[in-house]
Structure 1
Amino acid sequence: MPLPAVVDYNFHVRPILSDKCFACHGPDKNAREADLRLDTEEGAYKALVETAGMHAIVPGHPDQSEAYLRMTSDDESVRMPPVSANLALNDYEIKLIERWIKQGAEYKPHWAFTPPEKTEVPEVDDADWPINELDRFVLARMEVKGFEPNPVAEKHHLLRRVSLDLTGLPPTDEQLERFLADNSEKAYETAVDELIASLAYGERMAMHWLDVARYADSYGYQDDDIRTQWPWRDWVIHAFNENMPYDRFVTWQVAGDLLPNATKEQLLASAFSRNHKITEEGGVIEEEYRVAYAIDKTNTFSKGILGITMECAQCHDHKYDPFSQKNYFELYAFFNNSMEKGLEGLVNSGPSKTPRLTITQQDVESILQFINKGEDTSAVSVSVMGERDEVRPTYVLDRGVYDAPAERVYPGTPESVLEFDSTQYASNRLGLTEWAFNKDNPLTARVFVNQLWAMVFGRGLVATVADFGNQGELPSHPELLDWLAADFRDNGWDVKRLMKQFVMSATYRQSSQVTKKHLQEDPDNVYLARAKRVRLPAESIRDLVLASSGLLNPEIGGASVKPYQPDGIWEVTSSGRGALTNYVQDHGGALYRRGMYVFIKLTVPPPNMLIFDASNRDMCEVTRQRTNTPLQALVMLNDPVILEASRVLSGKLLAASPEAPTRNYIERAFLRILSREPSTQEMDLLEDYYQSELKRYRGSPSEAEAFLDVGEAPQEKSVPVAAQAALMAVVHTLYNLEETITRT
């Protein structure tokens, strides 16, 4: 690989030093060796304590730079990193550092800690391809790397993709038929606008935020019991559908209770900070858990809103980023004055904890109409935030231990990000949100834009979505990330506008076809020369199956539901009491709610969801891992909801057209599930399979009846049993195709 003409500290040198050097020569003073810092210009340039007359870095002179000389030494006793560290610099890394020193060894602030600004939109050779500004940034990078954009995806693929991305649901028959028939230039934009305006849009956007907010329906820990935070979930869906600006959306959740004359809606929004695990076990130390809750709030804010790993500084100075332990507890101080208790008496145990908000039927009929209480007219209580009148002192906790207070600290933020000016902001959570949305804050806009980009494009512009620090990956398109962040900030933090920018782009509309060049030179699609094929989130797999079969209950919001689940899972763990001792399955329409409404017991999360990499919600998670395991195939083959959906769809198709040719049923099912027509080869294979299954089931009616005996949805009595069983097998096969559960 050729060396860059100009070696940049942020993009070439810092990643090497962070990986190989900062653990011993970085921000953590307790782990620092030889009193040498290589993460700052001052530390690297100063005279060495242990080697008189030498300096670690001498700009312009690698031959006089002790750090470089040690990196290249053949003597294992002086070589750095030391052999015992099991780290080594390769020849390319050494040459990069050598050229950087020769060019002046210029240090720069970490790229993520400088405010984003709009750079000039680049010129491109193919001026006809870009649709909006982001395309020009993407194409400019493609052209440098020798890539060309893929053709536009076929219309059925494109509508299915954008429908899944914006609503988490496949397009309906009517939507698909209308879009395929509309050949106007505005056809795609019309479809996008319709999807963003749908109530399902708010549900899809909320799915991501529930992971950030660690939403669950129980408290966690061993004596797990039910809690009722679901009205907050209804509020999140409502906020996204109403296109609440992101700055207000976060402010209400972090500090809604501190707003002047706070409304019940603002108080409800503050339940965001109370979604953490809570103990109800007897014999615990109240202060230990109160501190644990404040730490959880601190970590959620730093990870979910700021995209930094502040939690690493709870016990000691951060080893890689410029965050001291004092910085950590200054941020913690904002959350340390909550009225929340570490343990409420078990006599007072219930579905919410102090401070709490009680929502009455009158509230739902007037100021909180977005809350879905169904037919239940009783009040529901939600755990929310509340601030003490008397300020609780905050101390650095030695080794992060609750009962080891050291130096007293006051609310503040890391200076390396943006200093907290106590003359400008109140020293409370409301002041913290004002700091977070200050135009000079370098992280807030970048982090949220990157989270949504990862959700839509399958990979973040910063691949480490949760880590914008030194150990995180560098942005693949830094100018594009900064342009989008500044544009988002300067246009009122408008989330719907941002999402439309993404999906209207030529970059998004490309086909996902993979060429040999793609696989060889860009297998991870870093340069965006194609659309990325991404396995659907766990919730969307369930939703697609329910929607395509006609079983989906489209009800928005409300209490969580308990659908089919393997017997005995809750009971064998001995991790619940009260309503959570035994799993009591729901019935009727509750069985067919969307995946985001499935009840999450923290000690035993829904197994089918976890197998498909859903968050277990015990802590803030801004992006999910993607795995591929045999257990996933077993779920698709055996999950009752998938078998039931296969039965119901096959029965509906046969009942709707009793005399139709077999191919018609298969084609209709294919279109419902995959949003496209089958190829001739696919149709022939599926029809052969149908005929073989039909023959089998005609010869064994009891086997056909046993296959159809799944789920609680009414059975279609007017169709032949063998024919339905055979068609059910075909539909079940379609649900098990990789393409079905993949956004292509």
Structure 2
Amino acid sequence: MGQGLAEVLQESTQPTREQLAFFETKIRPVLIRECYGCHSQQSGQSKGGLRLDSRTALRNGGDSGPAVVPGDLESSLLFGAITHTDMVMPPRSKLDDTEIADFRRWILDGAADPRVSAPIEQPQVTIDDQTIARAKATFWAYQPPQRIAPQVATPTASGLSKDWSLSPIDDYVLVDLIKAGIRPADDASAETLVRRLYFDLVGLPPSPSQTAAFVSAFGKDPEAAVAEVVDRLLDASQFGEHWGRHWLDVVRYAESTGREVNMTYPNAYRYRDYVIDAFNDDKPYDQFVQEQLAGDLLPARDDAEWSRQLIATSFLAVGTKNVNEQSAAQFLSDLADEQIDVTTRVFLGTSVACARCHDHKFDPIRQSDYYALAGIFQSTKTFFGNPPSQYGSFGGPQIRQTSSLLLLPQPDAHPIGRSYTPDELSDLHRQVQSRLDQLSELRRGGLQTRAGASSAQMRIRLSNELASLSAKLSVVDQEGVPRSYCMGVQDRQTVADVPLLVRGEIDQRAQRVPRGLPKVFASALTIPSDSSGRLELARWIGSDQNPLAARVMVNRIWHHVFGQGLVPTTEDFGMTGAAPSHPELLDHLAIEFVNSGWSVKTMVRQLMTTRAYRMASTFDRANHQLDPDNRLLWRSNVKRLNAEAIRDAMLAVAGSLQTEPPQASVVADAGYLRVRAGTLEDPREAARRSFERALASRREQMQRMRRGGGRPDFSRRNPMSPLRDAPVPERQDMSLDRVDADYRSVYLPVVRDFVPRSLEVFDFADPNLITGVREASNTSNQALFLLNNPLTLRCSEAFAERLAAESDGVDERIEHAFQLAYGRGPSAGEAAASRAYLRQSGLDEAQTLAAFCQSLFAAAEFRYLY
């Protein structure tokens, strides 16, 4: 947006001596007295991104726009603030009428301001227009996908022909194998293939009867047998639970803020359930994208759809947050940065966030491109915390950045969270009022502090208690019934472009950058002046006009089906990422994906019904020398099961798996709390534990004194005194490591820095990071888990009980155990070794059988797909 006429005239006309004197006597003193405390470099504060201690800062303004536009009262946000029309500044009291009149005269007279600071120079651009144009014209990721049919020669020197292929996908694989002189592996056995299908589609092992049925059908018609299993499992509810978890890895799903003060997200589970339902319903991926970025701005047929779309925008809200950040401007800048990072890496395979402080070092993305996106996300308000109660919002002394939640238009059929009886509700209100009165008394100096406690300590204690009580009241209605909230985003009432920050520093603001897309993605994005631009961004990303969205998603699907993406760097399709192993195949899949109506299930079906998917994982030395990383897919990749599949398989084999999902989440039941040492606890829980320890110590002291005939020493401070007037909270089992839970692992609580051990030890995705490819380690900690963990021991005992109930005799139990654990019968050597162990004399039969079952869990074959 260009300069206004008033600005041009002001810059070309020197202020008169009288105008400068008016500023020094009437304007500057008021700014210093009323504004510099929150909006100056000296105070170290720039609330709302606004500083008022220099002419440049005043004209540039803050997050909402210019503070002063010379000659234009309506556009000068500072004048709207001091008149309390647009906002309320100063917050304590309104300026008197004379001072307001002075500001009116000053602005209309040209806003003369002698406070000249060194101008902030715009960083030199290192990526010119020609570089961007060349990248768009030549780099594969920025080109629209093109269908190039593979040319497969028949017959081939290796004895293979096009008849090897079962689909066009196989043709693309085969042509590159032929060029490299590599012969693909033979087909896997039916037992191996059915186990692979079940785990890849639903993350669970097939039962012995399902394995037997597939083996029989495969012997008659392999293609029909595979197609039947694929279609049946795609329709199973477990498909969404398994594939939804893949997506939750990428979008850094978690149920807490992480960072220094780790506060829970009690409503994050709604996004988890939305994702699972989306995969089960085969929601078109373009719609899936748009709902997560701008569901609040999309049309909805009814309240149910509107609720789902609001929940979808939790995608932008569930990231890490430093709620202890003192500067609101810094917090908002960091929040937008995190949202830019997840949006561009997840949907576009590009790390635009690398350009926050300077032009991208490798990709053709300028720093101004970053701030074009930052304007979109900083014009968006994120809801992640806890609604204020009728008494106001209390975050506690360590929670400086608070937020509310979005009230869902369609309430839960069964309210989630704690309900309160009328008496409990009345008691909570009484406790809140008591804390408010005590804080008020403390400020006036009328409240006597406890012995040994300073007024600051008393204030912190009361503030923590008030925050806890307020959090409980804020999420229930007047009858004590929980309201239905969700995390998410909304456009701000005032949207604006943001200034480029030199070196990314919040107080080094250069010129404002119009909201839009990085130039390398699209030449322009038409954004209405009253819109954040988020809807326009979402519609462009989730469209066939975007050359990256379809490619990035089909590559993710390929990675989970075949164990390695066509582009191994699933979040980096840029200059530093790996080139696609089969570029024509990637384009073919992207086009097929769009033509299918962006159907994930259709794409999964196409990949799993190929000959390439059916190959065995047999090692070949000659092929390995030609292609050591198996980029050309000459054999099936050996895949370690992910953490959830290992845990779920143990429960399934033991006969203990609960297939009905639990309601909500452990975190939702706990509410808005701080996470400490792997438990969800009320802020007063630590004080309660300290109280109990002190009480036990005092009782022990009294007993010792009585035994010795003396009297206890009460001269020292009573450890119970700080809590004398406060009710002790009820003890609750809030452990995050749910070893007693029998439901699927996708429903376990995912709290940052406290992931359940059963998941963490097997390389669960770090919820602080965007994870497209998990680690697959083999460590001593995993062996120790399978040897000692209570979950392993419990499942081994249940497995043994199942064998005893479902089979008779040692040989039958051994056969049944191998079929359940590995989907095959034992070899002669395995059967003999197992028989010898189980027939040992002098050992408890149940314990021996449980130890035998535990050994099956601990073997590598249980954890790997071949």
TM-score, normalised relative to structure 2: 0.65
Note if 1:120 corresponds to 2:149: yes
Q: Compute the displacement of 1:438 (Å).
A: 3.4
In structure 2, runs of 5+ residues without a counterpart are: 1-121, 155-160, 416-479, 668-674, 687-731
Inter-CA distance 589–381: structure 2 relative to 1 (3 Å threshold): farther
Q: Partners of 2:660 and 2:339 in 1: how far apart?
A: 31
Q: Partners of 1:590 and 1:500 in 2: how far apart?
A: 36
Give, as a single letter, the amino acid of the residue that structure 1 aligns with 2:381.
M
Match of 1:727 in 2: 849
Q: Partners of 1:39 and 1:644 in 2: how far apart?
A: 64
Q: Compute the displacement of 1:456 (Å).
A: 1.1
Note if 1:390 corresponds to 2:494: yes
Helix, strand or coil: the match of 1:128? helix
Give, as a single letter, the amino acid of the residue that structure 1 aligns with 2:765.
S
Match of 1:59 in 2: none
Helix, strand or coil: the match of 1:396? strand
Q: Partners of 2:751 and 2:361 in 1: how far apart?
A: 35
Q: Partners of 1:322 and 1:619 in 2: how far apart?
A: 24
Give, as a single letter, the amino acid of the residue that structure 2 aligns with 1:138.
V
Helix, strand or coil: the match of 1:739? helix
Give, as a single letter, the amino acid of the residue that structure 1 aligns with 2:273.
D
Give, as a single letter, the amino acid of the residue that structure 1 aligns with 2:307.
K
Q: Compute the displacement of 1:223 (Å).
A: 2.7
Inter-CA distance 598–399: structure 2 relative to 1 (3 Å threshold): same
Helix, strand or coil: the match of 1:650? helix
Q: Compute the displacement of 1:160 (Å).
A: 0.7
191, 206, 209: which is aligned to 1:171? 206
Q: Partners of 1:681 and 1:273 in 2: how far apart?
A: 55
Q: Compute the displacement of 1:226 (Å).
A: 2.2
Helix, strand or coil: the match of 2:378? coil
672, 678, 682: which is aligned to 2:830? 682
Give, as a single letter, the amino acid of the residue that structure 1 aligns with 2:854.
H
Note if 1:533 corresponds to 2:638: yes
Q: Compute the displacement of 1:647 (Å).
A: 0.5
Q: Compute the displacement of 1:555 (Å).
A: 1.7
CA contact (8 A) 2:311 2:488 kept: yes
Match of 1:197 in 2: 235
**What percentage of residue pairs aligned between the two structures are identical?**
31
Moved more, 581-590 or 500-509: 581-590
CA contact (8 A) 1:255 1:433 kept: yes
Match of 2:839 in 1: 691
Give, as a single letter, the amino acid of the residue that structure 2 aligns with 1:488.
F
Note if 1:593 corresponds to 2:743: yes
Q: Compute the displacement of 1:177 (Å).
A: 2.6
Q: Partners of 1:573 and 1:191 in 2: how far apart?
A: 40
Note if 1:602 corresponds to 2:706: no
Q: Partners of 1:577 and 1:467 in 2: how far apart?
A: 41
Note if 1:416 corresponds to 2:496: no
Q: Compute the displacement of 1:623 (Å).
A: 2.0
CA contact (8 A) 1:360 1:379 kept: no
Match of 1:486 in 2: 591
Q: Partners of 1:579 and 1:726 in 2: how far apart?
A: 46
Q: Partners of 2:633 and 2:820 in 1: how far apart?
A: 29
Q: Partners of 1:480 and 1:442 in 2: how far apart?
A: 15
CA contact (8 A) 1:536 1:741 kept: yes
Q: Partners of 1:575 and 1:595 in 2: how far apart?
A: 19
CA contact (8 A) 1:223 1:576 kept: no
Q: Partners of 1:572 and 1:354 in 2: how far apart?
A: 26
Note if 1:438 corresponds to 2:467: no
Match of 1:301 in 2: 343
User: For each residue in 1:605-647, what CA deviation from the matched residue of structure 2 results, as whole angstroms up to 9, or x when unmatched?
Assistant: 2234222221121132222222222222222222221221111
Inter-CA distance 432–173: structure 2 relative to 1 (3 Å threshold): same
> Number of residues paired by the alignment?
607
Note if 1:253 corresponds to 2:375: no
CA contact (8 A) 1:117 1:483 kept: yes
Q: Compute the displacement of 1:677 (Å).
A: 1.1
CA contact (8 A) 1:553 1:589 kept: no
User: For each residue in 1:106-133, what CA deviation from the matched residue of structure 2 results, as whole angstroms up to 9, or x when unmatched?
Assistant: 9962111111111123324312111111
Note if 1:210 corresponds to 2:248: yes
Q: Partners of 1:362 and 1:341 in 2: how far apart?
A: 19
Inter-CA distance 42–498: structure 2 relative to 1 (3 Å threshold): closer
Match of 1:289 in 2: 331
Give, as a single letter, the amino acid of the residue that structure 1 aligns with 2:263.
D
Q: Partners of 1:516 and 1:273 in 2: how far apart?
A: 47
Note if 1:318 corresponds to 2:346: no
Inter-CA distance 743–578: structure 2 relative to 1 (3 Å threshold): farther
Match of 1:79 in 2: none
Note if 1:548 corresponds to 2:598: no
Q: Compute the displacement of 1:231 (Å).
A: 1.4
Give, as a single letter, the amino acid of the residue that structure 2 aligns with 1:406.
A
672, 675, 678: which is aligned to 2:820? 672
Equivalences for 1:510-589 in 2 at 5 Å? 510-556=615-661, 558-561=663-666, 572=677, 578=683, 584-585=734-735
Q: Partners of 1:580 and 1:405 in 2: how far apart?
A: 44
**RMSD (CA atoms):** 3.3
CA contact (8 A) 2:136 2:520 kept: no
803, 807, 810: which is aligned to 1:653? 803
Helix, strand or coil: the match of 1:174? helix
User: For each residue in 1:213-261, what CA deviation from the matched residue of structure 2 results, as whole angstroms up to 9, or x when unmatched?
Assistant: 2111222223323222101211111111111000001111110001135
Helix, strand or coil: the match of 1:406? strand
Give, as a single letter, the amino acid of the residue that structure 1 aligns with 2:495.
V
Q: Partners of 2:792 and 2:733 in 1: how far apart?
A: 20
Q: Partners of 1:142 and 1:636 in 2: how far apart?
A: 40
Q: Partners of 1:378 and 1:495 in 2: how far apart?
A: 36
Q: Partners of 2:412 and 2:179 in 1: how far apart?
A: 61
CA contact (8 A) 2:289 2:541 kept: no
Give, as a single letter, the amino acid of the residue that structure 2 aligns with 1:243.
D
Q: Compute the displacement of 1:604 (Å).
A: 2.3
CA contact (8 A) 1:205 1:237 kept: yes
Q: Compute the displacement of 1:377 (Å).
A: 7.7
CA contact (8 A) 1:353 1:383 kept: no
Q: Compute the displacement of 1:150 (Å).
A: 1.4
Match of 2:167 in 1: 132
Equivalences for 1:135-150 in 2 at 5 Å? 135-150=170-185
Note if 1:737 corresponds to 2:775: no
Moved more, 297-306 or 284-293: 284-293
User: For each residue in 1:268-312, what CA deviation from the matched residue of structure 2 results, as whole angstroms up to 9, or x when unmatched?
Assistant: 11111111123443x722222122111111100011110112121
CA contact (8 A) 1:166 1:204 kept: yes
CA contact (8 A) 2:310 2:486 kept: no
Q: Partners of 2:132 and 2:678 in 1: how far apart?
A: 54
Q: Compute the displacement of 1:457 (Å).
A: 0.7
Inter-CA distance 589–470: structure 2 relative to 1 (3 Å threshold): closer
Inter-CA distance 191–121: structure 2 relative to 1 (3 Å threshold): same
CA contact (8 A) 1:124 1:139 kept: no
Match of 1:75 in 2: none
User: For each residue in 1:388-430, what CA deviation from the matched residue of structure 2 results, as whole angstroms up to 9, or x when unmatched?
Assistant: 1321331212222333322201221122222233179976111
Give, as a single letter, the amino acid of the residue that structure 1 aligns with 2:373.
L
Inter-CA distance 342–449: structure 2 relative to 1 (3 Å threshold): closer
Moved more, 605-614 or 486-495: 605-614
Equivalences for 1:306-385 in 2 at 5 Å? 306-340=348-382, 347=394, 353-358=403-408, 378-385=482-489
Q: Partners of 2:246 and 2:684 in 1: how far apart?
A: 28
Q: Partners of 1:377 and 1:195 in 2: how far apart?
A: 39
